[in-house]
Structures are given as structure tokens and as C-alpha cells.
Amino acid sequence: MKLPILGQEPQASELILGIDLGTTHSLVAVFQHGESRVLGGDDGNNLIPSVVSFPEDGAPVIGSAAVERMQLDPLRTIYSAKRLIGRSVEDIEREIATLPYKVVHSEKRDMAVIDLGDRVITPQEVSAHILRACRDRAAKQLKLDADSLKKVVITVPAYFDDAQRQATRRSAALAGLEVMRIVSEPTAAALAYGLNKKENCKVVVFDLGGGTFDVSVLELHDDVFRVIATAGDTHLGGDDFDRAIMMHCAAEIREQSGVDVLAAPSARAALRMISENVKKQLSSNEEAEFVYHDANAGIAYRRMIDWRTFQNWIIPHVQRTLDHCVNALHDAKQTPDSIDEIILVGGSTRVPFVKAAVAQLFNRPANDNINPEEVVARGAAIQAGILGGEVKNALLLDVTPLSLGIGTAEGTVSKIINRNSAIPVQAKEGFTTYVDGQTAVKFTIVQGERELVKDNRTLGEFELRGIPPMAAGLPQIGVRFHLDANGMLNVFAKEEKSGVGASISIEPKHGLTDTEVESMLADAWQNAEQDLETRRVIDLHSQRKNVLRAVHKHQKMAEENLGKEQWQELHKATLAAEDIADSTDAKAIKNCVDDLENASIALAELLMNDVANNAVKNQKVSDLNS
């Protein structure tokens, strides 16, 4: 049902990178040879810590090397820049209080910037360094010149506003990169899972990262994902799990040794690292050991932590993620059961208790087949592949698989948009009334190739009311069909003389699978001949009734004014046309209608004279008036 876009094959040098610019980690991926692939560093690690350190003398240090400088140079080692980007100091006061480096207001830009002491840098500059590191990694892995890699797709959280997206674009520009598209993280995750191929799919993306939690409800309509609800907490994530372990162990250390280990920043940083390690081990082991030694302070602490204990410590945090899920479902007007796919994203979804909690909420396990830390980057690469033409048959021009039309009063279909029209498409058709003084018209919108309403799929009905009473055939009702890029059909009907209108919006593809479309088409082919014949009979009867109605209306006049022979001929043809009402013999009906039309020519002439006489009379009246 799809047509590929015709266009130039993109050049190999047009390779577009997919970048997940994360709060704690960033990744770069490409789409090549039919699949997405995350590019690893020399150390084999796919994650680039989103950390940049600016030594007083010397070039900025990025990634793992910058992480090592965190304790050494906390005022000049910037992490979580994503929390600052595109925001003003007012927006993020709470944020700033927790950061070891100095965030100040920039008069010039009206936004938060970082004061290194000897100079001020923007969050965009920090992100630019990370983006450049991604580009350099790709160049190295792919053995390409870094300058040849200029185009990128970057993911951002679904809730990012325009300022935050613009600032992200600005970061790329600073890095000398051209942003081909900004994609929301949940959309990228859904793309990575290939959910863009499922019709009318509803997806929940549960993304629990290091310091942020986002849950999004997406709806897929004709290859386009729409985020219909988001919820979350920008201060909820794996860091909370680390902190839970750290706080319990620090309390025990204080009990045992009387030392408040959390007071010293370096000890605190060390404890946090040990805690994170223990947490990660507990994702695959039943228990893990927490070991902390500090000979100078007289501390020798070790403790086994089993998964059950850890689980109890993190219950409140996990409960909060579920509360957000419930809110997002509510906003999206969905229930756990109405969701087709649940996807796990973010390193913290590796915690078995988190998985179990999500599974319990949705009554089934969530999908975690793709590495939850890589899934967003891989989706970005797929989007890059689509834009670069690498992903075949994915970015497609949609066409409407079946014709759309209006059912007439006689039960036949008047097609308005033909099947295989590329969407968006618009078309218009004129209709009129059937009965004198008719003030309302009912429209049945049908889909399919068959000639009769009853053999097609009825999509909806609506009524145009308030038409001023007029003789049958006089109202001019324009019906416009507009099928938009999202596959929504909007139908507008308007009576042109009075201006009264009505409209309806429906989703023609709703609940229709490709197989059903195919069987509807096959049906139409098979019945085409018979359908046409039936339709012809109906159309002829309709014509017959119209002529008969006109003749009856002027019967008295005909009887009084026509010559005897003319009148008898008309009378005979009228009776014949009435007698054939039940016939399905198109030829016979056609003969009757032709005879009646011929016999009524004299009457028509009479009527025309009458109209002309009236016009002359009116003329005279108006002459008198002037």
C-alpha cells in the first residue's frame, strides 16, 4: 500500500550519525548494511560520560578522562549540562543548589551559564564538546575523515521545550555539525524496536536513567509517532538507588567508627562509586559486598547486601515511577491493557525489581530485548538511516489503500477520493436534495471499491441540517473530503445558497489490517461486472423517478394544454415507466426512460414558454416600477 519516494540515491559520504545526548551518558550510532550499530570507544565501552572538564591550562577533557577529574577539579568539571541547557537560572534554582560547579545568570543571554572562575562557558559549549567527541569516535571507528561527518540526528527528552531544542541545535552548530532532525527519546526507542511498522500501535516508553525518569505514551498513526502524554521526574533515577545504599552504609560506618564519612566530599564521592557498583552487581547477583577502607580515619567496613534488602531500600523510588505511569496513562486516556507495547529504556531498568514492578502494573513483562542504554541511540541511527536513504521502504509516501466516497440516497456510492491517491489529498463533489422542501441531508461516508453502499465499509454518518426549504434539486451541496498526512479524513458539507454547513472527522484506517484491505480489493474485482450492472439499474431507476416526478407535477397543465395525441403518448409512457418500477433489466428500463423523455418534450416546451411568459410579465412590471 506504499510507494517509495523517488529521489536521488544519497552519496556514501552523506552518512548521518545518530546521537543520544544523555544527561549522564551519550552514545553515537550509525545505520549501515541494514542495521543500527552503536560505536564503541577504544576501551570497548559504548557509553561516553557526558562530562567535560576545563583544566586551567590546556585543552578540555571529555568523557571518562573528565570523570576522573571530577574529584580533583569539581569546580571546573561539568556534568549534567543537559539539565541547564536552554534554561534560565530561575527555571533551575533547585538544580543549581545540588551542583558542585558554579551556575550564574547571564545578562547577555538571559540564561544559565557556568562560571569557571577565569571565564564563563555556556551549557551549549559543554554539549558541543560531547557532540564533537561522538563525531570523533565515529570517525575513528568508521575510519573516515572527521570533517566528512557533519550531519547528525540528535535525541532530546519528549518534554524539551522549544528553547531547550534550539539550544541543543546551537550546541551542534558550535561543534560544526548540521542537525538533520531532533527526535524525541521515546520515539527513537520505539523506532529501534521497529514499532513504526505496526499499525495503530500504542506504546509506553519507560525510561529510568541516572538522574531522570520519563514515561511517555506514544501512538503510531501511519508511520508517524505522536507523543500523547508524558510524565516523569527530573530528579528520580539510578542516583537515588546509589544514594539509598550509600546512606545506609554511611550510617553503619558512623555507628561502628563514629566517623561521619559523608562530610568529606572526596569520601562521599568514593562511597557513591562503591554504591553504584554494588547496585549494578545486584542486577545480576543475589548479593554483593560493600567494602570501604580508610586507614587514616580508622575505618574498615564491609557488609554483604542481598537483593531483598536493596529492594526494600528502593521501594519508595520505584513506587514513584509507577505513580507517574498511572498519571501518563490517565492523561493519554489509556489503561494498562490498552497499551500494545511497553519498552524499557535507561540503565536503571536493569534493576530486576524495576522490571518486576513495571510488569505488574501492565500485567505482562515489558520489552527489554534491546540494550536499554543503547536503544535510544540506535533509534536515532535508524532515523538517520531513513533520512539518508539507507533504510529502504521506511520513509514512504502514504497512499490511501481504498477509495473514499459518499453513499447516495439510492444506495450507490459516489467516489470522492480514489484509491491509491497520495495523501494528503483533497477533493470535492456536488450534491443536491431528493425531495421538495427537504431541510436535512444525511451523508454516509464509505470506504471501498464496490458500487453499492451495502458492499462497502461504512466509516461514519453525519447530517447537514437547516437547509432552507427549496424544490428538490435546487440546493447546491458541496461535499469536500480532506485526507490529511496523518490519515485523518475530514469531511465538510455546505449548502452553498444558505451557507449552512456540517462536518465530521474520521480515521479511515482505524481497525483495518493490510489483509482486510487486500480482501476488500479482491472482492471488488470479483464483483466488478455484477456491481456495475446493479449500479446501472439503480442509476436508471433514479433517472426514471426524476422524469416521472416532473411529469406528475405538471400533469394537470399537460392535460389541459397539450394536443390529444401528445397527451396520450405522454400518458402511455408514464404508465409504462411506472409499471417497470421493480425491473432489474437495465435495457428495458432504459427504453422506458427514453420513451418517457421523448414523450415529455412537448410538455417541456410548454413549461419553457410559461417561464418565458412569466419573465416577460416580470419585465413589464419592473418597467412600470422604474
Q: Which active-site residues does the annotation give?
A: 20, 82, 185, 207
Binds ligand ADP (CB under 6 A): choice among 16, 18, 19, 23 = 23
Distance between CA atoms of residues 491 and 414, nearest Å: 14
Binding partner at 77 among ligand ADP, Mg ion, none, C-beta below 5 to 8 Å by kind = none
Sort strands 51-53 and 16-21 into parallel, antiparallel or unpaired.
Answer: unpaired
157 belongs to the binding site for ligand ADP (CB under 6 A): no
In the complex, least distance from residue 184 CB atom to Mg ion, rounded to whole angstroms: 12
Show the cell assigned to 20. 543520544
Grid cell locating 511: 481497525
Query: Coil, strand or helix: which one is 301?
Result: strand
> Residue 529, exposed/middle/buried by CB under 10 A (0-12, 13-18, 19+)?
exposed
Residue 373, contacted partner among ligand ADP, Mg ion, none, CB below 5-8 A by kind:
ligand ADP
State the number of binding residues for ligand ADP (CB under 6 A).
21
Is residue 415 helix, strand or coil? strand
SS (H, E, C) 484-522: CCCCCEEEEEEECCCCCEEEEEECCCCCCCHHHHHHHHH
Binder among 243, 279, 457, 535 for ligand ADP (CB under 6 A): 279
Classify residue 527 by burial, with Cβ atoms within 10 Å: 0-12, 13-18, 19+: middle
Q: Which of ligand ADP, Mg ion, none has residue 385 at its interface (CB below 5 to 8 Å by kind)? A: none
Report whether 491 contacts 475 (CB < 8 A): no
Q: Which of residues 280-299 bind ligand ADP (CB under 6 A)?
A: 280, 283
**Min CB(50)–ligand ADP separation in Å:** 7
**Which range touches ligand ADP (CB under 6 A), out of 1-9, 55-63, 347-355, 432-440?**
347-355
405 binds ligand ADP (CB under 6 A): no
Q: Return the residue of 18, 186, 209, 407 that touches ligand ADP, per CB under 6 A.
A: 209
DSSP 8-state code for residue 46:
-
Side chain identity, residue 574: T
* Residue 475 binds which of Mg ion, ligand ADP, none (CB < 5-8 A, kind-dependent): none
Using the rule CB under 6 A, is 37 a contact of ligand ADP? no
Q: Is residue 36 part of the contact set for ligand ADP (CB under 6 A)?
A: no
Chain position carrying cell 540564561: 111
Q: 107 CB contacts (<8 Å, ≥6 apart)?
A: none
Strands 441-447 and 213-221: unpaired
DSSP structure string for 513-570 = -HHHHHHHHHHHHHHHHHHHHHHHHHHHHHHHHHHHHHHHHTHHHHHHHS-HHHHHHH
Stretch that binds ligand ADP, among 124-132, 139-147, 348-356, 522-530 (CB under 6 A): 348-356
**Least distance from ligand ADP to the Cβ atom of residue 85, Å:** 14
- Measured from the CB atom, is 277 or 498 closer to ligand ADP? 277
535 binds ligand ADP (CB under 6 A): no
Instruction: Please state the separation of Cα 468 from the chain's center in Å.
Output: 42
Nearer Cβ to ligand ADP (195/244): 244
5 DSSP 8-state letter: P
Tell me: does residue 235 bind ligand ADP (CB under 6 A). no
Q: How far is the CB of 208 from Mg ion (least distance, A)?
A: 9
Distance between CA atoms of 595 and 576, rounded to whole angstroms? 9
- CB closer to Mg ion, 20 vs 390: 20
Residues between 102 and 141 with contacts to Mg ion, criterion CB under 5 A: none
Q: Contacting ligand ADP (CB under 6 A), which of 63, 157, 347, 379?
A: 347
Contact 359, 366 (CB under 8 A): yes
CA separation for the pair 271, 251 (Å, rounded): 12
Q: Are 388 and 31 in contact (CB under 8 A)?
A: yes
18 binds, among ligand ADP, Mg ion, none (CB under 5 to 8 A by kind): none
Kindly report whether the peptide bond that precedes residue 372 is cis, defined as omega within 30 degrees of 0: no
- Residue 25 as a binder of ligand ADP (CB under 6 A): the answer is yes
**Does 18 participate in binding ligand ADP (rule CB under 6 A)?**
no
Q: How many whole angstroms separate alpha carbon 286 and alpha carbon 103? A: 41
Q: Is 379 in the site for ligand ADP (CB under 6 A)?
A: no
Among 22, 49, 238, 347, binds Mg ion (CB under 5 A): 22
Q: Per CB under 6 A, does 508 bind ligand ADP?
A: no
Q: Which of 157, 346, 401, 508 binds ligand ADP (CB under 6 A)?
A: 346
- The CA-atom distances, in angstroms, between 221 and each of 92, 201, 423, 486, 511 are 35, 8, 13, 6, 12
DSSP letter at 116 equals -
Contacts of 20 (CB under 8 A, 6+ apart): 26, 27, 28, 29, 155, 185, 188, 376, 377, 380
Please give the size of the binding site for Mg ion, defined by CB under 5 A. 2
> Which amino acid appears at position 38 of this protein?
V
Q: How far is the CB of 277 from ligand ADP (least distance, A)?
A: 9
Least separation, in Å, of the C-beta of 20 and Mg ion?
A: 6
Nearer CB in complex with ligand ADP: 345/452: 345
Q: How far is the CB of 234 from Mg ion (least distance, A)?
A: 12
Are 23 and 209 within 8 A, CB to CB? yes
Classified as helix, coil or strand, 340 is coil
Which H, E and C letters describe 18-40, residue by residue? EEEECCCEEEEEEEECCEEEECC
Nearer to ligand ADP, 210 or 508 (CB): 210
Between residues 261 and 325, which has the closer beta carbon with respect to Mg ion? Answer: 325
Q: Least separation, in Å, of the C-beta of 525 and ligand ADP?
A: 52
Q: Which is nearer to ligand ADP, 23 or 53 (CB)?
A: 23
Read off the C-alpha cell for 102. 558554579
CB of 119 to Mg ion, least distance (A): 30
Min CB(80)–ligand ADP separation in Å? 9
Q: Does 405 bind Mg ion (CB under 5 A)?
A: no
Pick the stretch among 141-149, 167-175, 341-349, 535-543 that binds ligand ADP (CB under 6 A): 341-349
Is residue 238 near ligand ADP by the rule CB under 6 A? yes
Phi, psi at residue 545, to the nearest 5°? Answer: -65, -40
Smaller CB separation from ligand ADP, 73 or 373: 373
Single residue of 18, 24, 133, 577 touching ligand ADP by CB under 6 A: 24
Give residue 336's Cα distance to chain centre. Answer: 19
Nearer to Mg ion, 125 or 374 (CB): 374
Q: Which of the ranges 1-9, 16-24, 97-105, 503-511 carries the binding residues for Mg ion, by CB under 5 A? A: 16-24
The single residue among 209, 211, 405, 475 that binds Mg ion, judged by CB under 5 A, is: 209
Q: What is the CA radius of gyration of the chain?
A: 36
Interface contacts to Mg ion, rule CB under 5 A: 22, 209
The residues that touch ligand ADP, with contacts defined as CB under 6 A, are: 22-25, 209-212, 237-239, 276, 279-280, 283, 346-348, 350-351, 373
